[in-house]
Each structure stands twice: as structure tokens, then as C-alpha cells.
């Protein structure tokens, strides 16, 4: 559970239901945005109200989130990154009329070039924040693993810019949980289907167990179909749909029906 990972107080319970609708990736970014800024006591109410809170002036934001007035948000953000504090951002913080959102976005744009080394990235990718507020520390950590362990280069990040918002911990879990998927090395699979970076590793493990079920079914029905449907083909299609960001309740449901109908495997 994401709240246990970050020691988030789940009270008041009235806000818990809405937080579940945000999804783990969105929740984790919101949590880390608050931690980047310096909020130490996290509860579910603060996390669900992130868009509203960040529209407050810096002084008001500090008061609501119990950050000491004299504490530097700049220092908090860049100490999490292990970087020196940029003078121009320190000076910006002294302008009381600035909102917390404006200030945090100024930090994001500074980090885009100086920390993330993504000068070519469209600013709108970082600044767009309808639900997913991007955490400086999370993006920095994710970029390390994308470049080091998955071999993502400038061309790939340009093409699939959304990958920078994936959780580094989830990517590590995926890499540690699988050597390959359907015979394809896990690194290659994750590069070919980048949406899988956002899928829970445990869910993919469960999906992989479908292969065992299909092995038995293939044996039972091998003589009943003219064209056999192999285990790996079925599993690959499941993962392909996940990797392309398709919903199991939409297009995948129709694909599954077609597969089952054509192969007399309605038992599934």
C-alpha cells in the first residue's frame, strides 16, 4: 500500500475513497511533491487537496502544512536531490506574492536542464498538472534507472516522454521480478512496451501465471482446433495490451472474446 510506504495518516477516512481513484503513480507523485517542499506530517487530506493547497501563497501554504516560516523551500527541494541551492530560486522565494505552485514549477523548469539534463523536453510535459503533479525527486530518481538500467537515450525519452513520471521503485521491482517475458529479455520488453513501467509488478506476475493454465488447456484442446493458440501468444497479447495502455474492460475484452471464439477456449 502506497500510504504505508510513506507513513501517511489515512484519516480522515472521508478523503480515502477519492485518493484510491487517483492511482498509485499519481498518489506517489503528490506525496513526494509535499515531501520535496518540506511537509513532514502527511495525511490523506493534504494529499487529496494538493491542487488547492499549491494555489496558496507561499506563506499561507507553509502555515497550513506546518512548515516553519523561516524554513527555505529551496533548501528542502535541493537537499532531497543532493544538489546545491540555485541563487536565483532562493531570491524568488522571498517574493511573498508567489504561490507554492508557481514556485515549485520554477524549480521544475530549473531542474529540467540543470538536474534532469532534458533541455529538449517540452515545458508543458512538466507543467501540465490536472491530476498528476510531477515530483522533482521522483523524476530525478526515475531518470537514473531509465538511463542506467534500461538504456533510455535522448531519442527514446523524446518519443515516450511520459516514462519520466514512472515510479523508480516499481521499475526496479519489474527488473528484479523477471528475467524475460514470453522469451523476450525484460529490459527489451520494457523498452518496447513502455506503458508496462506503470503496471504493478505483482499484477504482471499474476498475469504470467495464465501461461501455466494455458499449458493445461492446450493439452486438453490440442485436437479440437485446426490452428493452435500457444501459451506465449496469449500471454504476449495480454502484456501487449498493458504495454500499449489498453484497458482490459474495453478493447482487450473484445480481443479476448475473438481469441476464445476462434479457438474454442470459452472455458476461460
pLDDT, residue 220, reads 57
User: Closest Cα partner for 197 from 254, 237, 239, 225?
Assistant: 239
| Strands annotated E in 67-207 | 180-181, 184-185
d(CA 19, CA 259): 36
pLDDT, residue 252, reads 43
pLDDT, residue 91, reads 77
The position carrying cell 523561516 is 70
Spell out the per-residue pLDDT of the chain, length 268, in tens. 789 999 999 887 888 888 888 888 999 999 999 999 999 999 999 999 999 999 999 999 999 999 999 998 989 999 999 888 888 887 777 776 889 999 999 999 999 999 999 999 999 889 887 678 899 999 999 999 999 999 999 999 999 999 999 999 999 999 998 898 778 899 998 998 899 899 888 777 776 666 555 555 556 555 554 445 455 555 565 665 555 555 444 444 454 455 444 444 333 3
d(CA 243, CA 191): 10
Compute the CA torsion angle 65, 142, 171, 256 (nearest 10 deg): 90
CA max distance for the chain: 76
d(CA 39, CA 253): 43
pLDDT, residue 250, reads 46
Query: How many other C-beta atoms lie within 10 A of the C-beta of residue 137?
Result: 20
> CB–CB of 207/238 below 8 Å?
yes
For residue 207, which phi and psi values (nearest 5 degrees)?
-65, -35
User: Which residues are CB-neighbours of 55 under 8 A, at least 6 positions away?
Assistant: 99, 100, 101
Could you tell me the pTM of the whole model? 0.79
Compute the CA torsion angle 156, 160, 161, 166 (nearest 10 deg): -110
Bond from prior residue into 162 cis (ω within 30 degrees of 0) = no
pLDDT, residue 100, reads 92
Amino acid at each position: 500500500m502506497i500510504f504505508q510506504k510513506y507513513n501517511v495518516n489515512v484519516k480522515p477516512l472521508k478523503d480515502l475513497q477519492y485518493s484510491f481513484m487517483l492511482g498509485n503513480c499519481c498518489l506517489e507523485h503528490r506525496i513526494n511533491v509535499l515531501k520535496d517542499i518540506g511537509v513532514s506530517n502527511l495525511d490523506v487530506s493534504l494529499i487529496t487537496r494538493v491542487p488547492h493547497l499549491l494555489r496558496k501563497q507561499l506563506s499561507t501554504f507553509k502555515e497550513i502544512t506546518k512548515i516553519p516560516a523561516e524554513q527555505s523551500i529551496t533548501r528542502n527541494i535541493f537537499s532531497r536531490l543532493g544538489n546545491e541551492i540555485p541563487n536565483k530560486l532562493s531570491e524568488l522565494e522571498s517574493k511573498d506574492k508567489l504561490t507554492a505552485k508557481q514556485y515549485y514549477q520554477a524549480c521544475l523548469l530549473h531542474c529540467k536542464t540543470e538536474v534532469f539534463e532534458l533541455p529538449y523536453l517540452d515545458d508543458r510535459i512538466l507543467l501540465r498538472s490536472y491530476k498528476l503533479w510531477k515530483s522533482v525527486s521522483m523524476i530525478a530518481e526515475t531518470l537514473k534507472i531509465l538511463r542506467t538500467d534500461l538504456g533510455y537515450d535522448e531519442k527514446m525519452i523524446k518519443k515516450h516522454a511520459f516514462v519520466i513520471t514512472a515510479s523508480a521503485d516499481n521499475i526496479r521491482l519489474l527488473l528484479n521480478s523477471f528475467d524475460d517475458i514470453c522469451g523476450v529479455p525484460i529490459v527489451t520488453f520494457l523498452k518496447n512496451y513502455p506503458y508496462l513501467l506503470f503496471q504493478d509488478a505483482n499484477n504482471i506476475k499474476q498475469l504470467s501465471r495464465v501461461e501455466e493454465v494455458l499449458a493445461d488447456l492446450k493439452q486438453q484442446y490440442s485436437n479440437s482446433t485446426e490452428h493452435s493458440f500457444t501459451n506465449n501468444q496469449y500471454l504476449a497479447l495480454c502484456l501487449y495490451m498493458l504495454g500499449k495502455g489498453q484497458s482490459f474492460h474495453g478493447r482487450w475484452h473484445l480481443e479476448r472474446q475473438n481469441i476464445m471464439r476462434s479457438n474454442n477456449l470459452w472455458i476461460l
